[in-house]
Amino acid sequence: MSFLTQISNIFSKKQSASLIGIALQQKSLNLCIIPSSEKTIDSKVTSAKDTIFKNQSIELSDYVSAMEHCKSEYNLTSQCHLVLNSLQSQIVQVDKPKVAKAEIISALKWQIKDLVPISPDNMVLDYFDGPILAGGIERINVVCSPLNELKKIVDVLNAGSSTVASITIEEFAFANLLPTQKDACLLVCQQPNEEIVLLIVKQGKLYFHRRLRGFSQLANKTEDELTMTVIDSLALEIQRSSDYFERQLKQASIKEIKVLLPISLEGFFARKLSENTHIPVTLLALPEAYQEQREYAAAIGATMYDANITEQAQETMNVS
């Protein structure tokens, strides 16, 4: 499962054996540095003593300064896998343009120009397959980001001996953490101070995604608050998502739900959610050595592409 997109001309430098996952959040930057000795990160990793996890606060959305600080402090000389947050990227679903494959990107810029607040001239985008609806209508999901902002971040990371190896979004970073399996699984994922993301993944393919609003302060809720308001609201959104998956996409019913919420009441949340949805709910497992680093899940998930955990071919996004 991947929507990791390569930046052009990044392989002109010698590549380091180490990996760096960088998740850009709304108020901070999460950094995960995996040394070369642990590059084969997967669910069987039992030691991560040399891996560095760092949370860097961000002032006024100044990601460039935060990046420069991290590069200076940790002397970054590795391949960087970048995860954009929900304010830096947008996803819209449209009918697939009936043009040659080489012309799809150009066509999409004008097709979605009235759906996103980014001008076509300042838009960098890519797409991944969407569902085929009744009547054989083929849909695709378009992910776009402002070129001018993204280029500043890429330029900082590409300066010196570090390189940007890939760019992705939270949805795919989270999905990378789920091993490929036959039956559909619904994921409830979140990072600190971010909103909840609902995903449905089946056989390594992302069938459904939705970004929910109003859940960013979940970590501050008490057991009573979770039980009386939050879980009921989330269960309703899960039911709506499941109904769409089953009725509109003609898929078998969801058999399990996995939760990844870096909050102290995560286990309690999962138990109550299971009672409410009547579907088995368990915690989404991270690689064994990283189970206690759940607030860095997006950064970890991004690096798992390079560790050959993901199976889908990556698409290409040029930033020049």
Interval 185-226: pLDDT, tens: 999 999 998 999 999 999 888 999 999 999 999 999 999 999
Q: pLDDT at residue 58 above 50?
A: yes
What pLDDT score does 133 carry? Answer: 65
What pLDDT score does 191 carry? Answer: 94
Q: Which one is predicted more confidently, 37 or 230?
A: 230
Domains and CATH numbers, the chain: 1-177+286-320 (3.30.420.380), 180-284 (3.30.420.40)
| Model confidence band, residue 1 (pLDDT cutoffs 50, 70, 90) | very low
Contact 305, 42 (CB under 8 A): no
For 179-187, what is the mean pLDDT? 92
Q: What is the pLDDT of residues 272-284, one digit of tens each?
A: 999 999 999 999 9
What pLDDT score does 43 carry? Answer: 46
CA angle 207/236/86 to nearest 5° reads 55
What pLDDT score does 317 carry? Answer: 36
What pLDDT score does 36 carry? Answer: 66
What pLDDT score does 34 carry? Answer: 85
Which residues, other chains included, contact 300 with Cβ-Cβ below 8 Å and sequence gap of 6+? 21, 32, 41, 177, 286, 287, 290, 293
pLDDT above 70 covers a percentage of the chain that reads 83
Mean pLDDT for the chain overall: 84
pTM of the model: 0.86
